[in-house]
Structure 1
Amino acid sequence: MLKQLLAVAPHKAQLDYYEDREINEDEVKVKVEFAAPKHGSELAGFRGESPHINDYYDEDWHTFLPRDEKESKGVEFGKWNLGNQWVGRIIQVGSKVTDYKLGDRVCSYGGIRETHIVNAINNFYLLKMPEEMSWKNALCFDPAQFALGGIRDSQLKLGDRVAVIGLGAIGQLAVQLAKLAGASFVAAIDPIEKRRKTAVHSGADIALDPIQQDIGLELKKLTNKLGVDVIIETSANERALQQALRGLAYGGTIAYVGWARPFKGGLDFGREAHFNNAKLVFSRACSEPNPDYPRWSWRRIEEVCWKILSEGLVSCEDIIDPVVPFVDSAFAYEEYVDRNPRKSVKLGIDLTDQ
């Protein structure tokens, strides 16, 4: 029987069996080769900490409201197939499908499992991959969107000095995209050594450790007391935001990309934020309308990201790390995503031996 990776309880993952149904005439079946989870919002659900568990975001009211007592929770442990994106090859094609054929290499959204059955008519999210495209680049399609959204929302200009705080997949891609956008200097900031090294290898001019260094002051020292023009904040840590406000140039912009939990201290708007005319922009690429609507939309961001990734304008070879076999995915998810994120940047799962 086929297997999939499930969240069976908070902090607990497990491989379990499933059966595929017959595909419909408008669908294709894909044998998955590689997959990856989402380390941010997905991890909050895995830990039982997501605001979506007991509440939901109402698109009409634009606010969180409590779920009805009879309604399913936002996370159903024992049923939730962990994972964000996958890459694979089409092994079965429905009779009405004309845009895809057997053997096509594709990428889409979905859980970590051996197969996926997907609608294949007018489905933007069933993305065809050039044969030469790296599977690691494809699996970074989701974080690339939020990195690009942050870069655009920050109004980064040619020659700007930039700091990226938080070097998970979004932060790593923000480093590369900032350089691609013309930043003259990029500082990469994270307490995890592995992630700092990855960022420098990918083009950051310097990497800083917020545990050992006064980040705000270091950014001022590196810029002759001026501070950086733009900060892309992906860590969602209140102390990181405080340091961002300290290290930002007068009138500069912080694009707040990270998905925050309730702050418990370490943030004081009565200090640099009050004196330095900082601009704080909350950035979420998939929120519509886009700040640059109607010229830009989430779909345009998606299209640009896929082009950048498929043409190899950025590299995700060091971002998807470590890569583990599917048989070890439950342990790896608990170890590298939940318990010890210092050992990873973005976990990759290899299903090619299944």
Structure 2
Amino acid sequence: MPKQLIATAPRQAALREYSDREPEAHEVKVRVEYASPKHGSELAEFRGESPHIADYYDMEWRTFLPREGEQTGSFGTWNLGNQWVGVITEAGSDVTGYAVGDRVCGYGGIRETHVVNAIDNYYLLKMPEGMSWKNAVCFDPAQFALGGIRDSHLRVGDTVAVFGLGALGAITAQLAKLAGASYVAVIDPIDSRREAALRVGADAAFHPLSDDIGLELKKATGKRGVDVIIETSGSEQALQSALRGLAYGGTIAYISWARAFKGGLDLGREAHFNNAKIVFSRACSEPNPEHPRWSWRRIEQECWELLKANKINCEEIIHPVIPFEESASGYEVYVDREPDKSVKLGISLL
């Protein structure tokens, strides 16, 4: 029987067998070649720290409300993973838009096969010949990176700093250059991440534990500070440094899904004196701030085109790549316990 990666308990993963099935008339079966988890919101669920466990976000009230009854979560059945790339091996009789042999990308857990609706399903994405699987599985973070760029109102010639170089920040730094930034600085404590960002176009890189980031950003811009900051780390110390390095009247687009701050944020300092603006950006929140011209679907479409055209380089973002057989221990180490050893984990099923 085929296997899938599941969460058996908070911070514990395992490979378990599952029952496969044949596709129905409207479906295709895909043999998965590569997959990747989501290191942000999925990790919060894996650790048992997500606000969605005890509460839920009510769309009518637009606020978190408590769930009723005992909350046990989905541990023991939850298929870990976010996106996959594979080849269609079977197609139902009603399927006309896909064929056996097509290489596709989709959303779903890390497992050997997926059976997917193939009629009017935008999220079963055809991959053109030559498209990197690493670019494909970065479709999700790319959406939130692009949303942050747009919500920051970055314009040609602006100076930019990106805090945090996980997949989200690494893609954001590249998009800032594509959007016309004249200077892009990146900030992360992990040497390999900073070096990778410099290789694909960042102008400067700083270490937040050894550099006074705010002062360095002021020095790099003739005391002015950067026009735009994209904050992806979720750290209160990073936000404090961002406020210190931001130009007067500049904008911070906060795209990280932060946890509760425990101290270190002082809004009585630069934030109070420098007319700072903070926008909390989430690409999938509707209506989009630029509705009706822009929507989450338009952001998705633009990101997929950029990834297909290799205008975003994800080769060093998917790191490391480990065999499927090692995915349980690899998930626990690279995603949860020692995230400094990875950027966005890749899983090979070949």
TM superposition score category, shorter chain reference: over 0.9
| Aligned with residue 195 of structure 2, among 177, 194, 197 | 197
Structure 1 counterpart SS, 2:287: coil
What letter matches 1:82 in structure 2? L
Match of 1:342 in 2: 340
Match of 2:241 in 1: 243
> Unaligned regions of 5+ residues in structure 1, if any?
none
Contact 2:22–2:29 (Cα < 8 Å) also in 1: no
Match of 1:265 in 2: 263
- Structure 1 length as normaliser, TM-score? 0.98
What letter matches 1:247 in structure 2? G
What is the rounded CA distance, in whole Å, between the counterparts of 1:266 and 1:109 in structure 2? 37
Question: Is residue 178 from structure 1 mapped to residue 176 from structure 2 by the alignment?
Answer: yes
Structure 1 counterpart SS, 2:252: strand
What is the rounded CA distance, in whole Å, between the counterparts of 2:299 and 2:305 in structure 1? 10
Structure 1 counterpart SS, 2:325: helix
Residue 22 of structure 1: how far off its partner (Å): 2.6
Contact 1:9–1:77 (Cα < 8 Å) also in 2: yes
What is the rounded CA distance, in whole Å, between the counterparts of 1:22 and 1:328 in structure 2? 27
Match of 1:319 in 2: 317
Residue 24 of structure 1: how far off its partner (Å): 1.2
Structure 2 counterpart SS, 1:229: strand
Structure 2 counterpart SS, 1:53: helix
| Aligned with residue 131 of structure 1, among 125, 129, 132 | 129
Match of 1:23 in 2: 23
Contact 1:194–1:344 (Cα < 8 Å) also in 2: no
| Aligned with residue 159 of structure 2, among 147, 158, 161 | 161
- Structure 2 length as normaliser, TM-score? 0.99
> Unaligned regions of 5+ residues in structure 2, if any?
none
Deviating 4+ runs (over 3 angstroms): none
Contact 1:33–1:351 (Cα < 8 Å) also in 2: yes
| Aligned with residue 275 of structure 2, among 274, 277, 289 | 277
Residue 66 of structure 1: how far off its partner (Å): 1.1
What is the rounded CA distance, in whole Å, between the counterparts of 1:201 and 1:349 in structure 2? 24
Contact 1:194–1:343 (Cα < 8 Å) also in 2: no
What is the rounded CA distance, in whole Å, between the counterparts of 1:202 and 1:54 in structure 2? 41
Residue 12 of structure 1: how far off its partner (Å): 0.8
Q: Deviations over 1:191-234 (max 9, x none)?
A: 11121111111211111000111111111111111000000000
What is the rounded CA distance, in whole Å, between the counterparts of 1:40 and 1:297 in structure 2? 22
Residue 68 of structure 1: how far off its partner (Å): 1.5
Structure 1 counterpart SS, 2:340: helix
What is the rounded CA distance, in whole Å, between the counterparts of 1:151 and 1:330 in structure 2? 34
Once the two structures are superposed, the pairs formed by residues 205-216 of structure 1 within 5 Å of their partners are: 205-216=203-214
Residue 170 of structure 1: how far off its partner (Å): 0.6
Question: Is residue 77 from structure 1 mapped to residue 72 from structure 2 by the alignment?
Answer: no
Aligned length: 350
Contact 1:236–1:260 (Cα < 8 Å) also in 2: yes
Contact 1:227–1:248 (Cα < 8 Å) also in 2: yes
Question: Is residue 41 from structure 1 mapped to residue 34 from structure 2 by the alignment?
Answer: no
Match of 2:300 in 1: 302
What is the rounded CA distance, in whole Å, between the counterparts of 2:193 and 2:6 in structure 1? 27
Q: CA RMSD in A?
A: 0.8
What is the rounded CA distance, in whole Å, between the counterparts of 2:102 and 2:18 in structure 1? 24
Residue 131 of structure 1: how far off its partner (Å): 1.4
What is the rounded CA distance, in whole Å, between the counterparts of 1:243 and 1:295 in structure 2? 34
